[in-house]
Structure 1
């Protein structure tokens, strides 16, 4: 386990004492969950019905899978160091054009991309590492863009009439959010409240694209980019945990975690990135390094075959249900069906499944039943 506390990491980067500053700001359409409007899987891939609203927050009509008792999870919650709102969410985000963003974004810098209702936005990792949550409106829809640096997870949620903040707590090293309507506690990866008025309810999630600035602006030259004018004094040129440019370093590659994980799983190194998908039938993770090399990987969730496809344009992974075991080849960045038709990786003629990147220890800790697909095959 790391000897340095999270408080030390964050205080070093900020250069100032963290203040508990947070504000509030104040709809729902189907979108491609990969960040491309009309491409890939839709929101809440396992639940097509519009979920109910409870005290202004859109929730899923059926909860996401959780593999522990809530009481057990609550006992595993730890203080990350900073107090509630000590890592302040961005509640009044400012944006600028791609051309202006080029002034201080390198091509290789990590951004989290999103397209909703025809509007494209990018959220630089070097900003969100200091805030973890941006309460925004994209395409007229209120959303929360969230990032946990300790688990390598960037996830989007519909927020309705509330905003989300950083509780200062961690579960399995993962950000525990709270909603400012009820103060319920939501571990980011689970997307499900483990305490409060919403206990047992799940948020309506959508996918963010973890990619680089160069890749995103080439795909979306009209994108707007989150500005460093956040209202907080932070050194956005310094990542308190390490670096992703030019190569991952520091915490992002060390096998140790800041706090003990929920469980250990030696099938992969702790910080190896996987594309994980969770359904009511089971959980599966695809080794992203192996997927980059192969282009396609196959595995099963329960008795249903699933297919992961690599998108070289954005360095992204897409996962599909493939119940009939349809055969595809991978050629020049496209999936080629048995009849010779070529498909963009985000637009195969199969049912898409919501999937997101995560560090292996985080995914396996939350979902101990998960299958794992690597270049050497599948293990359960």
Structure 2
């Protein structure tokens, strides 16, 4: 693992006192990371805002109490992951270290200074070294889908007077215009991957395989020591539905117009429905929410949504559904 300091610590500021509302500054097609709760409105965290902050320290009301969570986003890896931020019974708060590990965000906790690789949730240095954060179920979808599926949902509001290195041409934080051009647009549209591709430097990484593009969107599942990444194009090529067993857990992975989603598989035998959705057990199910027309709901699984090159960095070249 190659760990390096790229920008100063906290030059990309985490959001530690998030506020929510119903108005959004971006576009319908913008990706948002969605966290649902049985006892509170769903929350959307737009990547348009996360580009400049990468971490939101928040809390989730799950009906049995408040669960501290960290909503995390690494733009270079397109890795959108929600973690519980309790370690060994201690509540921690995360910030952006300014370091990268294999082109992935390195977070640090403000309680001990320990450093954590964002894509795996593993502590790679410090008091908590070797510990792993618990992944929470979350979905990556579009703002349009979130607004349609969650009419009572709320969205993260842009922090006031924010400054971030991501808004700057150098390492010094600059004022953020959340409704302007996004800092990683060129990177997402380009062929390369990692920091070198983003900065246009000569030390670009190589990619040997031809069956997957390094920036293929993958949904990664990991249970009981087994890790399988489901590339979005492969799920779509399979008709939009893949069933598999990962670490003893039966899963169904559904590809929709807005992304890719994983749920516990109840064994219904899902088939794509003309006009949208998936038919199973005498009703139609929404692949983005897991909700059926008759009111039933699938159980969303904890997952990591990220680029293929990062999943391969973390789990090796054979850890993909084929």
Structure 1 residue 304: Cα displacement: 7.9
1:75-96 superposed Cα distances (whole Å, 9 cap, x missing partner): x1122x2111111111122222
The answer to whether the 8 A contact 1:95-1:227 is kept is yes
Structure 1 residue 189: Cα displacement: 0.9
Match of 1:234 in 2: 176
Q: Alignment partner of 1:250: what SS?
A: helix
Counterparts of 1:160-239 in structure 2 under 5 Å?
160=86, 161-232=91-162, 233-236=175-178, 237-239=180-182
**1:132 paired to 2:57:** no
Structure 1 residue 370: Cα displacement: 3.6
Distance 2:206 2:192 in 1: 15
Match of 2:171 in 1: none
Of the three residues 11, 22, 30, the one matched with 1:86 is: 11
Distance 1:147 1:136 in 2: 14
Distance 2:195 2:41 in 1: 36
Structure 1 residue 343: Cα displacement: 4.7
**1:267 paired to 2:215:** no
Q: Alignment partner of 2:320: what SS?
A: strand
Structure 1 residue 270: Cα displacement: 0.8
1:44-70 superposed Cα distances (whole Å, 9 cap, x missing partner): xxxxxxxxxxxxxxxxxxxxxxxxxxx
Q: Alignment partner of 2:122: what SS?
A: coil
Gaps of 5+ in 2: 163-174, 197-203
1:93-128 superposed Cα distances (whole Å, 9 cap, x missing partner): 22222xx32xx3221122212123423211121111
The answer to whether the 8 A contact 1:173-1:261 is kept is no
* C-alpha RMSD of matched pairs (Å): 2.9
The answer to whether the 8 A contact 1:310-1:333 is kept is no
Of the three residues 261, 282, 295, the one matched with 2:240 is: 295
Structure 1 residue 205: Cα displacement: 1.7
Distance 1:362 1:190 in 2: 10
**1:357 paired to 2:305:** yes
Of the three residues 25, 31, 42, the one matched with 1:120 is: 42
Q: So what's the TM-score if we normalise by structure 2? A: 0.77
Of the three residues 111, 126, 131, the one matched with 2:32 is: 111
CA spacing shift, 1:252–1:274, aligned 2, 3 Å: farther
Q: How many positions carry a matched residue from both structures? A: 284
The answer to whether the 8 A contact 1:90-1:131 is kept is yes
Counterparts of 1:256-335 in structure 2 under 5 Å?
256-259=193-196, 265-292=209-236, 294-299=239-244, 301=246, 307-312=252-257, 314-320=258-264, 327-331=269-273, 332-335=276-279
Structure 1 residue 327: Cα displacement: 4.4
Gaps of 5+ in 1: 1-72, 243-248
1:275-298 superposed Cα distances (whole Å, 9 cap, x missing partner): 111223522122213324512124
The answer to whether the 8 A contact 1:172-1:262 is kept is no
Structure 1 residue 299: Cα displacement: 4.8
